[in-house]
Structure 1
């Protein structure tokens, strides 16, 4: 949240009350981390071994595909990477236009856009589950949605909650723990982030294996839509 927006909110008790109304950002971002695990389960298990939320894994997958490893696709991976980057560009532009105003409004609008994109993906998955175009559509739309969200989460700047990447979270959890010589002050939040991602991946994998792609995408859309309605602007 910008300094100007913080000062305006502090000077206006009514605005401060509106900003604080709803679910805090920490549980919201933890829930989004669950959704990230679910979306990557959909993409990796159902769309040809490609990630649409975890771009670190995607770059590695692109290397596998470029080397000719079986089961990986260069076009699929490039589609995901390109769509994610475009989504992040859109998220950055939204941050420029909305980031100086209400943090609550900004977060809610971005979550509403993500919910709409995931809902559209679910419709496509239900309508034409076996079509080749469906695979590319789902990769592109979910990748764009995850890029949009990541750009927003990055600008919101809530510590230890990126919603899609756990490498630095695990590093911080270990290096800053008492065993690593640190104080372990952020351990609960970091641990919760790891558990959230694992939970989402397990749930997503089960749904994909037993019910196809449409249901986990629809579930993701519904959860994010609820968050768009209830999110506040406070951490």
Structure 2
């Protein structure tokens, strides 16, 4: 009988996901909460200040493209396609970073991704200060921010911390309700899920206020500062 050939990659042990070992006060969880606030701020900037486009929430962009194709006013196919393409490019870059650092070097991997994100936020802020967010500059800013969020999403996905994706809350809210005691569950990670929602709100509110008062560039500065502070304070 011929012995089956084993896949060498399948034979290698995989490092455990971070999720089960990360409690809500763990440095990694605290960093992800801070980044969730950054995501809320950026969605306020992109949707309210860059023409109803999302740079963090790609589900929103797919829906926005459909709205624009249907003829709904105020939505841009080109803007959303730019964001989607740039986001995918950022996710590819995140995959390259993961291959370079390896999940067992989690701290260095996350810091590298965050330093890149801070640099891209700062570049977007400089562009808006210099040329405002109109015409070609608007698409450039959308692309830069979407690349940053693609890198972030790819990195956070690899870290595998439950209920802390930092950019979307649909599954977090679903788990909060479906696993609640009202639904007959044990309400696991209830505090984490509530904090994730709260931090998204905490970022989106000041971001919206700044954009609505004509301070889009300063909102981007705030996102860069918050992400930069996360890099500096993260210790593991």
**TM, length-normalised to structure 2:** 0.87
1:184–1:121 distance in 2 versus 1, CA, 3 Å: same
Is this contact kept in 1: 2:83–2:142, CA < 8 A? yes
Aligned to 1:14: none
The structure 1 segments of at least 4 consecutive aligned residues displaced by more than 6 Å after TM superposition are: 2-6
Hey, what's the Cα distance between the residues in 1 that align with 2:187 and 2:113?
Answer: 32
Structure with higher Rg: it is 2
Is this contact kept in 1: 2:57–2:168, CA < 8 A? yes
Hey, what's the Cα distance between the residues in 2 that align with 1:25 and 1:211?
Answer: 34
SS of the aligned residue for 1:179 comes to helix
The question of 1:67 aligning with 2:44 is answered: no
Question: CA deviation digits over 1:55-78, x for unaligned, max 9?
Answer: 111111111011111000100010
User: Which ranges in structure 2 are unaligned for 5 or more consecutive residues?
Assistant: 1-11, 17-25
Hey, what's the Cα distance between the residues in 1 that align with 2:133 and 2:111?
Answer: 33
Hey, what's the Cα distance between the residues in 2 that align with 1:74 and 1:138?
Answer: 16
Out of 204, 225, 228, the position equivalent to 2:231 is 228
SS of the aligned residue for 2:213 comes to helix
Aligned to 1:46: 49
Hey, what's the Cα distance between the residues in 1 that align with 2:13 and 2:205?
Answer: 40
Is this contact kept in 2: 1:121–1:142, CA < 8 A? yes
* Cα displacement (A) at 1:4: 7.4
**TM, length-normalised to structure 1:** 0.88
Hey, what's the Cα distance between the residues in 1 that align with 2:145 and 2:13?
Answer: 33
1:130–1:94 distance in 2 versus 1, CA, 3 Å: closer
Hey, what's the Cα distance between the residues in 2 that align with 1:130 and 1:137?
Answer: 9
* Cα displacement (A) at 1:126: 0.6
Q: Which moved more, 1:180-189 or 1:223-232?
A: 223-232
Is this contact kept in 1: 2:103–2:109, CA < 8 A? no
Is this contact kept in 1: 2:43–2:56, CA < 8 A? yes
Out of 119, 132, 151, the position equivalent to 1:116 is 119
Hey, what's the Cα distance between the residues in 2 that align with 1:130 and 1:211?
Answer: 11
Out of 168, 185, 189, the position equivalent to 2:192 is 189
1:174–1:63 distance in 2 versus 1, CA, 3 Å: same
Aligned to 2:142: 139
Aligned to 1:179: 182
User: Which ranges in structure 1 are unaligned for 5 or more consecutive residues?
Assistant: 7-22
Question: CA deviation digits over 1:21-55, x for unaligned, max 9?
Answer: xx701111011011101001000001100100011
Name the count of aligned residue pairs. 216
* Cα displacement (A) at 1:94: 0.6
* Cα displacement (A) at 1:3: 6.3
Residues 138-177 of structure 1 mapped to structure 2, 5 A cutoff: 138-177=141-180
* Cα displacement (A) at 1:133: 1.4
Aligned to 2:130: 127
